[in-house]
A and B are shown apart, each in its own frame.
Chain A
Amino acid sequence: DGGITQSPKYLFRKEGQNVTLSCEQNLNHDAMYWYRQDPGQGLRLIYYSQIVNDFQKGDIAEGYSVSREKKESFPLTVTSAQKNPTAFYLCASSIFLAGVNTGELFFGEGSRLTVL
């Protein structure tokens, strides 16, 4: 079945450590996104990518990094510079249709990161 796979589902990290969250999609979507979810704050955009080897910062990119070497993959690294990394992280993708994108986002099941 087509979809988005995020791993790991749960992750614990010590302060000062970098951690990478995986996101893989087999929907053949061009655009991919990373959102962070905190209770009562909704979803906030970290990074997004329209195409391979290209990505843009979202609203809260500080302390995060991404890469887009393959169409199917968009990993997110939470670095030690991120001051409050404990959160639920959601990856999403969407279709890129003739330069005008009105399709919905498809989400993965999320990764919950806890910093000890």
Chain B
Amino acid sequence: AQSVAQPEDQVNVAEGNPLTVKCTYSVSGNPYLFWYVQYPNRGLQFLLKYITGDNLVKGSYGFEAEFNKSQTSFHLKKPSALVSDSALYFCAVRDIGGGATNKLIFGTGTLLAVQP
């Protein structure tokens, strides 16, 4: 069965420090991986995706993610955290059983708290 895991419920980081939010996946075949961000009582916003190609993917708001096939990981990173980055972050993988839709399987989310 396909799945994604976000091993940390919460990540704390000081403003200006680098941040990493972890995600590991389990899929058969090539994975299509996504990161989304959610602010309180709002919908999810797309940050970036990995489909194929360069293992380092750049996305919105200065975020990037590194695809590592041997470790089955897709960690989200940012060189310098901002207080405004504080939010709930979701990793997701495309469900290959979804036919021609982009049916996604989401992780449980990681709350990022950036202290001033």
Contact = CB atoms under 8 A, between A and B. Distances in A.
Contacts of A41: 108
A112 interface: yes
Interface in A44-77: 44-45, 48, 50, 58
Contacts, number: 73
A52 B14 CA distance: 48
Interface residues of B, number: 26
Interface of A is mostly: strand
B46 A96 contact: no
Contact of A101 (B43, B102, B105, B109): B102
Given A48-B101, A107-B43, A109-B43, 8 more contacts: A4-B43, A42-B106, A45-B103, A50-B101, A58-B103, A95-B102, A103-B102, A112-B41
Interface of A: 4, 6, 31, 33, 35, 40-45, 48, 50, 58, 88, 90, 92, 94-96, 99-110, 112
